[in-house]
Amino acid sequence: MVRRTDKPKQRPRYAVPALDRGLDVLEALSASAVPQTLTDLSRTLNYAPSGLFRLLTRLDTRGYVIRDAASGRYSLSLKLFELSHTHSPVESLVRAAAGPMRELAETVEESVHLSVIHRGRLLVLLDAGSPSKVRISIEAGSQFAPVETTSGRLLLSYYPAEDLAGFLARDPEYGAMTAAKRRGFERELNRIRRAGFAITRSEERAGLVDLSVLVGNPTIGQASALAIACIRRVTKGEIEDILAAMKQCAASITRAQGLSETAP
d(CA 73, CA 92): 34
Same domain, 50 and 96: no
Enumerate the H helices of 10-88 as residue ranges.
17-31, 38-45, 49-61, 79-84
* Confidence at 264, pLDDT banded by 50, 70, 90: very low
Which residues face 122 on adjacent strands?
117, 144
Question: Does position 7 have pLDDT exceeding 50, yes or no?
Answer: no
Question: Does position 91 have pLDDT exceeding 70, yes or no?
Answer: yes
Judged by phi (left if over 0) then psi (alpha if -120 to 50, else beta), residue 196 lies in left
Q: Is residue 250 part of a domain?
A: yes
d(CA 124, CA 150): 13
Q: What is the pTM of this model?
A: 0.69
Q: Which of 39-48, 60-69, 186-195, 229-238 has the lowest mean pLDDT?
A: 229-238
Domain boundary among the residues 80, 113, 129 is at 80
Q: How many domains does the chain have?
A: 2
Q: Is residue 9 part of a domain?
A: no
CA angle 122, 189, 124 (to 5 degrees): 15
Number of C-beta neighbours around residue 234 at 10 A: 19
pLDDT more than 90, % of the chain: 68
Give the closest residue to 209 by CA, choosing from 174, 241, 250.
Answer: 241
Question: Does position 217 have pLDDT exceeding 80, yes or no?
Answer: yes
* Residues with Cβ within 8 Å of residue 192, at least 6 apart in sequence: 153, 154, 157, 198
Domain that holds residue 27: 17-80
Q: How much is the pLDDT for 137?
A: 81
Same domain, 170 and 213: yes
Enumerate the H helices of the chain as residue ranges.
17-31, 38-45, 49-61, 79-84, 89-108, 150-157, 161-170, 172-175, 179-195, 236-256
d(CA 258, CA 96): 10
Mean pLDDT of 137-162: 94
* Confidence at 12, pLDDT banded by 50, 70, 90: low
Same domain, 156 and 200: yes
Question: Does position 215 have pLDDT exceeding 50, yes or no?
Answer: yes
Q: Is residue 1 part of a domain?
A: no
Domain boundary among the residues 80, 108, 133 is at 80
Both ends of the chain: CA-CA distance in Å?
41
Same domain, 105 and 131: yes
The burial class, CB within 10 Å (0-12 / 13-18 / 19+), for 65 is buried
Same domain, 132 and 149: yes
Domain boundary among the residues 61, 80, 99 is at 80
Mean pLDDT of 189-218: 86
Give the closest residue to 204 by CA, choosing from 231, 177, 235.
Answer: 231
Same domain, 69 and 97: no
* SS3 label, residue 93: helix
Same domain, 22 and 127: no
User: Residue 72 belongs to a domain with what CATH number?
Assistant: 1.10.10.10
Mean pLDDT of 112-136: 90
* Confidence at 80, pLDDT banded by 50, 70, 90: confident
d(CA 47, CA 147): 51
CA separation (Å) from 251 to 3, 36, 158, 255, 256? Answer: 35, 33, 17, 6, 9
* Residues with Cβ within 8 Å of residue 159, at least 6 apart in sequence: 167, 218
Cβ–Cβ under 8 Å, residues 59 and 2: no
Question: Does position 32 have pLDDT exceeding 80, yes or no?
Answer: yes
Of 161 and 138, the structure prediction assigns the larger pLDDT to 161
